[in-house]
Structure 1
Amino acid sequence: MPTWSSIRKKLESDYLCPSLQGHIQYFATSYSKSADHEGRAAIRLDGVEVLRSNYYDYYQNYWKRYQQLRSSVSENENPKIPFQLAYEGALNDGCFDNWFFYEAFHIFDNQSIEKSIVHNNPLVRIFALLDRRLGKRRLLALAETMEQELEWVRTFYIIRLKAEGLMPPEEMTPQD
């Protein structure tokens, strides 16, 4: 597995679109004194964390969902279904741990921009939205699909539109 500094360099220098260079920063850390060296990850815009999550928030969200789903599964169903649905639900809420961030980067780094923009992993889609290989015409063509996108992914779509001058800065804020 590559080091965090090499991942960050690729994301911020090699992949990031020119209009966002110097504005978007990626952050991930693991805490050596915590159990299993768990940590947190974030994406910052001009120093403000737009997206952030950590292991403990993720695990709490995941476990709560799993407990609810486990009780609704019948004996005839696959017992792994509640695990998968809880994982997907936590991720859709924007909860993930730093290892998931690394995994998303690995997927993104090893496939085309076409596959990344439609990938089932929302972090991979965010990396693709901020990627220099995604041109302005293609970015605008995504408008219709962004209506069905997760709110926290749409936020990065709006950030990119504003950075490219395709949306007036005062028209919509990332929190909308």
Structure 2
Amino acid sequence: MLYQPKWSKAKKRLKSLVCEPLRSRVDFQVINYRKAHDQLGRAVITVDKQEKLSMCTITAERQEYYRKRKIRLESNNFDFEHVEINRDIQEQAHQQLKKEGIYGQYDFFTALELFFNSPIEVSLNSSDSLIKILCLLDRRVGKRTLRNMREAILEEREVVRYFYHLRCQAEKISVS
């Protein structure tokens, strides 16, 4: 499934929300593999033309398969006919991967949709690391808010902390 509406429009909107000091340094790319069965590929966030976060569908789906298998082994549940159980196992596996920072391109699109359609205050309180990263890059998040996040950011995953420090550095905010 390709992103709807067009990725070029979404990218333009996303880039317009990036704070001024980082606008020329941060970029977002979507790489689709036409020969892949679902035509999905990777979504990438780069800083100074270096990949800082890669969300590869193939990697995420492979890891999800192994997670589902592990969940089935631990629960000794191999009932593949029961739709509700299968969905629950898939959701458990998917949530585990998101907590570990293993994302597919579709996770990026989902986060983007939520980010675009929620007030910035709601997005800032999201438990989704991708949405938090988008917030940290967002010009609507001011210096006072960034300073107030100092303690809470210590509890976040390393990649979220990286984008927090990047934004603080760009805004000349001391984080020590």
TM bin, normalised by shorter chain, reads 0.7 to 0.9
Name stretches of at least 5 consecutive residues in structure 1 with no aligned partner: 172-176
Offset of residue 9 of structure 1: 0.7
Distance 2:116 2:132 in 1: 12
Please identify runs of 4+ aligned residues in structure 1 that moved more than 6 A. Answer: none
Q: Is the 8 A contact 2:55 2:108 kept in 1?
A: no
Offset of residue 74 of structure 1: 6.5
Offset of residue 29 of structure 1: 2.2
Distance 1:129 1:73 in 2: 39
Q: How many residues align?
A: 166
Residue 6 of structure 2 is aligned to residue 3 of structure 1: yes
Residue 100 of structure 2 is aligned to residue 100 of structure 1: no
Distance 1:114 1:72 in 2: 39
> What is the correspondence of 1:130-145 to structure 2 with a 5 Å cutoff?
130-145=137-152
In the other structure, the counterpart of 1:146 is 153
In the other structure, the counterpart of 2:60 is 58
Between 1:35-44 and 1:89-98, the stretch displaced more is 89-98
Q: Is the 8 A contact 1:30 1:98 kept in 2?
A: no
Offset of residue 37 of structure 1: 0.3
Corresponding letter in the other structure for 1:50 = K
> What is the correspondence of 1:4-19 to structure 2 with a 5 Å cutoff?
4-13=7-16, 15-19=17-21
Name stretches of at least 5 consecutive residues in structure 2 with no aligned partner: 78-83
In the other structure, the counterpart of 2:80 is none
1:40-98 per-residue CA deviation (whole Å, 9 max, x = no partner) reads 011000100011121111112212222112222366xx734432221011122222222
Provide the identity percentage: 30
In the other structure, the counterpart of 1:30 is 32
Residue 129 of structure 2 is aligned to residue 122 of structure 1: yes
1:82-115 per-residue CA deviation (whole Å, 9 max, x = no partner) reads 3222101112222222222111111000011111
Distance 1:5 1:71 in 2: 43
Distance 1:81 1:36 in 2: 23
Cα–Cα, structure 1 residues 74 and 33, in superposed 2: closer, same or farther, change >3 Å?
closer
